[in-house]
Amino acid sequence: MELQKALETRRSVYALGKNVDNSKQEIVDAVSHVLKHAPSAFNNQSSRVVILFGEDKQKFWQHIYDVQKDVLSEEMWQQMEGNIAGARDNAFGTVLFFEDNAVADQLPTNPERTAVYKHTADANVQYGTWLTLASLGLGANLQHFNLGYEQGFDKATKEMFNLPETFEMVAQMPFGSIEAPAGDKDFAPLEDRVFVFGD
């Protein structure tokens, strides 16, 4: 799929299923290719991904469900419960995005710039992964549950999968077959968003 088509195809798909023709290894290889080639400041390469299938995927999302039902407001829980349950029960897999602070802290800059650089690097990996999944014919959505490295909110996830303490969870991306298309999307006028100067 050409890049522009992938850009158009990538949407937030919440009706995910397990009717996937791609092998797990094909998906792992595709996501790994993104991670390898995604740009990062000073080629620091601090981004990490964890790819979950089967019982490990369900275990992770059950943990998120158990934590978030006691953390989110009632109104927000009603809005998000379906997304969490869908990722747990219906999605084929999930990509977890982390930054390894042991690597990011080696950047030759101050802490403020380090924070910007590492999250920019992770955003590159997230978007590249989303485009790649779309090019494979898979639907996905991006979530930000159970964050808070400083507060230790992602400690249980790291313990669950025996990940280094220096890993900071940034986002989660459940994916699978597209069981219902994404809804209509409105676009703000480009003339309000793109500014061009010079001959």
Residue 198 located in a structural domain: no
Residue 32: strand, helix, or coil: helix
Q: Is 197 within the bounds of a domain?
A: no
Neighbours of 90 (CB within 10 A): 16
List the one residue out of 2, 7, 10 whose CA is nearest residue 133. Answer: 10
What pLDDT was estimated at residue 82?
93
Q: Domain for residue 199, yes or no?
A: no
Report the CATH number at residue 134: 3.40.109.10
**pLDDT tens figures, 128-146:** 999 999 999 999 999 998 7
pLDDT in tens, 13-31: 999 999 999 999 999 999 9
Residue 103 falls within a domain, yes or no?
Answer: yes
Q: Is residue 130 part of a domain?
A: yes
Q: Is the pLDDT of residue 98 over 90?
A: yes
Contact 15/180 with Cβ under 8 angstroms? Answer: yes
Q: Which domain holds residue 20?
A: 3-192
Number of domains in the chain: 1
User: Is 93 contained in some domain?
Assistant: yes
Helical spans, DSSP H, in the chain: 3-9, 24-37, 54-71, 74-89, 101-104, 111-135, 155-160
In the numeric block, which tokens belong to residue 56?
A: 């490990």
